[in-house]
Copies of this chain bind each other. A is one copy, B any other.
Amino acid sequence: MITTVECLPCLLRQAIDTMQRFDVPLTDQQAVMQEIMYVLSTMDVRQSAPAMAQRIHRLIRVRVGDDDPYRAIKDESNALALELLPRLREGIHGAEDPLASAIRVAIAGNIIDYGARRQVEREDIDNLLTRSLAMSLDERTLDAFNRDISSAGTILYLADNAGEIAFDRLLIECLPREKVTLAVRGAPIINDATRVDAEVVGLEAMVRIIDNGTDIPGTLVERCTPVFQRHFSDSDVVIAKGQGNFETLAEAGRPIYHLFVAKCSIVADAIGCQVDTPVFQCRGPLQG
């Protein structure tokens, strides 16, 4: 679990950006900021940023008066990503190592993160796709991934954001899909993918889908449903998309393949990379 005081100003900044996005009047913004600071002042500050973001966005949703204010943005991201799929799928199939290519595409999809970015443009996605497709994946991690996937009886895939989830589909197409269970968030939080997003990008017809029962932009296992917890502990392989899942699961006590774009200096420092770098890493105790 990554947690630091440095996340606090950033979380407040994100809260303001969100309220401005949804045209919350200034006096309401002031009231929400006071509520947020009060809630954060009473929380255990050793909690991760996603745990704090959950509380912050609950307060904002109440003020916006919408349980799912990012719905339209998520629809847009899904549509944009789906538009890109045929060309990307063709690229993957034509690649020397299709699985490695699909991993790169899935990582690139993680740019579509409205928690970390104010706006995601078609151009941003194109740029990151280009960079990601040229990204050299760590050979040892790639070999281990290949081996683990081949021998696995069950694979749990933790989705992150809407739009991105269409790119995840391309990676899942390269996995033994009868073994895959896809987990989405249990309720709307920022632009994170929920069940409807998995359906829209056609994943429901391909794999088993569960939700984690929470509205946290990450995965705090102990707060998830018993079904999710069972999958998390029993699956032979866990693939986690996104920085929020990395922040909350970095020391989850089991091996996890993390695929994401490092979006802030705190996480980039923890990994030893630059901000905006694609990350493909296995973390946690080695399987026995």
- Structural contact, B6 and A16, CB atoms closer than 8 A: yes
Residue of B nearest to A30 (CB): B45
A12 to B33, CA, bound (A): 13
A117 at interface (Cβ–Cβ under 8 A)? no
B-contacting residues, A12-55, CB 8 Å: 12-13, 16, 26, 29-30, 33-35, 37-38, 40-42, 45-46
Total residues of chain A contacting the partner, CB 8 A: 22
Give Cα A16–Cα B6 distance, bound, in whole angstroms. 7
Residue from B6, B30, B42 within 8 A of A5 (CB atoms): B30
- State A16–B16 Cα separation when bound (angstroms): 19
Interchain nearest-CB distance for A52 vs B (Å): 11
A25 CB to nearest chain B CB (Å) = 11
A8 proximal to B (CB < 8 A): yes
Query: Is A272's beta carbon under 8 Å from chain B?
Result: no
Q: What would 14 more interface pairs be, CB under 8 Å, given A6-B16, A37-B41? A: A4-B26, A5-B26, A8-B12, A9-B12, A9-B13, A9-B16, A12-B12, A30-B45, A30-B46, A34-B41, A35-B41, A37-B37, A38-B42, A41-B41
Q: A: which residues have CB within 8 A of B?
A: 4-6, 8-10, 12-13, 16, 26, 29-30, 33-35, 37-38, 40-42, 45-46
